[in-house]
Amino acid sequence: DAGITQSPRHKVTETGTPVTLRCHQTENHRYMYWYRQDPGHGLRLIHYSYGVKDTDKGEVSDGYSVSRSKTEDFLLTLESATSSQTSVYFCASQSPSSGNTIYFGEGSWLTVV
Amino acid sequence: DQQVKQNSPSLSVQEGRISILNCDYTNSMFDYFLWYKKYPAEGPTFLISISSIKDKNEDGRFTVFLNKSAKHLSLHIVPSQPGDSAVYFCAATVTGNQFYFGTGTSLTVIP
């Protein structure tokens, strides 16, 4: 377990507003990921980071941006929330030294109305 | 294009019997495979993994089998217990790169 905490855990927001989800890990893991989970789609990668200020797009990155200014924090921003971004968002982290296993946070439930 | 597929959305098994969850993949470069378990309102938790150099890995009641020629892996749970009722995701990766997940199989173990 990587000691990953996500905030907020639940949020309701209006269409068109910006939203930032925060992921914080205490294990000094280098790699961090943001996934979204939707029925019928499983877990899909939004963005990932291989280190501070080193981020890249995943398969469903449109409408999302990320920032990693510190090893322990990985922020996911919805610039202008849409109803299609209503989802459960999971952060994950990985230490290459501990093998090919990623560990997940508890999730952030986002509803865009 | 879905690189990792779980074609059975749900599975029901009697307590004490074997549960077999299946997963197929398309990318022959994948060299590491994982299974995660997810309860409602919680994050996925790591269950078991296997490297592509092996064809079987066991951990207690859980065994993962890998058939590289068929690009298929399976998770066997025996004996199944009610607490095993959850959604199971398989995942695959090329070491050092992204992880790809299947759509999940919801397992119900009937007491």
β-partners of residue A92 are A33, A104
| Average pLDDT across chain A, whole number | 93
Residues 6+ apart with CB under 8 A from B71: B24, B25, B26, B28
For residue B44, cis peptide bond before it (omega within 30 degrees of 0): no
Whether A40 sits inside 8 A of B41 (CB atoms) is no
pLDDT, residue A46, reads 97
Nearest-CA residue of chain B relative to A2?
B45
B76-102 per-position pLDDT tens digit: 999 999 999 999 999 999 887 789 999
A1-49 per-position pLDDT tens digit: 558 999 999 999 999 999 999 999 998 899 999 999 998 888 999 999 9
Chain A interface test: which of B3, B103, B105, B106 (most A C-beta within 10 Å): B103
Instruction: Report the alpha-carbon distance of residue A37 to residue B90 in Å, rounded.
Output: 14
B30-82 per-position pLDDT tens digit: 999 999 999 999 999 999 999 999 999 999 999 999 999 999 999 999 999 99
Name the amino acid, one letter, at B74: S
